[in-house]
Structure 1
Amino acid sequence: MTHIVATVGPACSSREVLGDLLKAGVDVFRFTASKTPVAELASLAEEVRGLAGDVGLPVELVLDLPGAKLRLTNEAYLDLADVSELVLRFDDSPSDLTGPVPSLGVSGLGPGDPCPQVGDLVVIGDGEDALRIVGQTAGSCRAVPLTTGVVGIRRGISFPGARDAGGAQEFTPYDLAGLRAMTGSPFDAVVLSFTESADLVERARAVLRESVREGPLPSVVAKIETAAGAAAADEIARSADGILLGRGDLLLDTGPVEFHAACCRVLDAARAIGCPVLVGTQLLTSLAVGWLPHRSELATVSELLADGVAGLMLAEETAGATDPVRAVTLLTGLRDRYAPTTVRTPLFPSHP
């Protein structure tokens, strides 16, 4: 069975929309901890669990920990169409979007980590927008936008020479606290971002064993989103309870030419040993701006369904789109056509 995973965000945080998503076919809700405290997400997850019980539908709840990643600190959207120049400050300071030259703070830069250089390209999010560095001072850079999109809240960034987010393979204090907070939470599984080894999965499981004194352990899902993670997909698949193929950061790390090969390595490794694999990032995002989805999206999603992937994860399609139910309804229709099933099975069975 291919499960439909919906990411919870501003567009679908009301009881009414969450209920509509359940009825439209959502099997799993993903709660991202990159922008919202874990305790707040756990409270919302409890509400979703109760809502699913009210409508008589099964649901699984997943907490996605952010890992180490450079992120903007803006708490409001920034329309680049109105910006000719902006400042990036790498000191974790708040962003200031007022005035003729907006200032965007960047969090996650460690001591000694390099800032971008003049001429470097800074990519925002999953590649939706880009900036060119035109000036540099101590701890900050001036940049000009190369695109005219709208920068979302606390989006990730990448640039040449940036610290490898997955390289250290150490839990951030925030992620470690999130793992420990799984105790007594409603979440069925936890996602580890930037997984590049089986060791990270085992260390996460050890933290969970220390924290969860009674009852089943939550499942551990390894998000593979770097070239190193794809190269180690065999060992990761043998250790994890599931794999989330994070295509957004993976493309940024591999580049466009090697991207498809990396995706195939992950899918093949998971399929070889029967490890459930979920695929996410930009499955049906064209619905946000158009009535019909892009033909390439339809082809990719239909092929993944026919191949029997364990789950397809909607992100912006449900978290930020104007009509999240529409994307789920289409995905359910595609599933009924290309991966029909009469038995609804759990994605993450309980672990003793």
Structure 2
Amino acid sequence: MSIRVIDKDFNLIAEFDSHESFQHTRKFQSAGSFDLNLKRNDENYKYLQRENIIIYNNDPNLSGVIEHREVQGNFKSDSLPVKGCSLSGLLHRRVISPDASSLYMAFSGKQETIMKNFVDKNCINPTNKDRVIDNLVIAQDLKRGKDDNWRSAYDALDLKLEEIAKYANFGWDVKLDLEKKKFVFDISEGRDLTIDQNTLPPVVFSAKFDNIKSRHYTESDINTCNSVYIGEKETEGKAVLNYGTGKGFERREQFQSFSGTVDEIKKESEKVLEELKTLKTFELEVDPEVNFIYKVDYDLGDMVTLQDNTLGITMNSRILAITETYVKGQMTLQITFDKLIPNLMDKLKRL
């Protein structure tokens, strides 16, 4: 497994094979990360300078920007860990900065268009040219999503993109285009591979199919909310509105400070209630080549079906994060899923 090191202008700095381990996490709606560990006294450590970019195994999806280096040990058995973010982490380096004449930066239109406008005005065509991110471009706007409107002032750009993406049910990423020597921002939607659809071959993770090595299931009401009060509690004449369905013993209330029109307040309440609903999720270590082939039959952002007969759970969920770990040439695959959605269990019984 090779490691290629380039600079931000795509100039090759080094390429080598020697390393102890490599772990890379891709995320559907936020920036990912990587961890690289080199052998003691590895002379290639000198090439792994902060702000350089690594590409693992010639796979642009397994790339990242070096942000952190260490030397650990007692001189005889030093370890050399290197860490960084996926290319999407470049957008964490910018806040959303309105023009001097405006309180907010605001956009209306299709949700994809809004996300790309925020990136354009803060990274590619900002008023202050010092804010331009070298070699970053935006993929063609396909105008996906619903008509919407968003505004922001000095929020971290990547966190605002994550917020919009969760509301719109999109993913987003910055990919490496080695041929054109560009970093390309784009959104994605993922595929529906659940048993509830008939268009594509379904993907089912189940011990019955021998494609799960281990699983971690979480079900939690900690810090959840099913009734939100939202508005400006200390501003005279401003209404505080209540949204949600919680009642009686099971009702869990929270307050969210927010200023805006009634429609904007309602949209904010929907986001809060979605983010703070009861958590039911899986993390799975799966075999990438049993029954379904990773990156062929399924990938990041896809909706799949999960079954655990021991727990009595059959649910649909989106793949939100994938962690690939390489040690001595062997790869393990860890998948993190979104909150679980009930499906049509009778269909799975027929598989």
Q: TM-score, normalised by structure 1?
A: 0.24
Greater RCO between the two (CA within 8 Å, min separation 6)?
1
Higher Rg of the two aligned structures: 2
Q: Which has the higher helix share?
A: 1
When normalised by structure 2's length, the TM-score is 0.24
Bigger fraction of residues in strand: 2
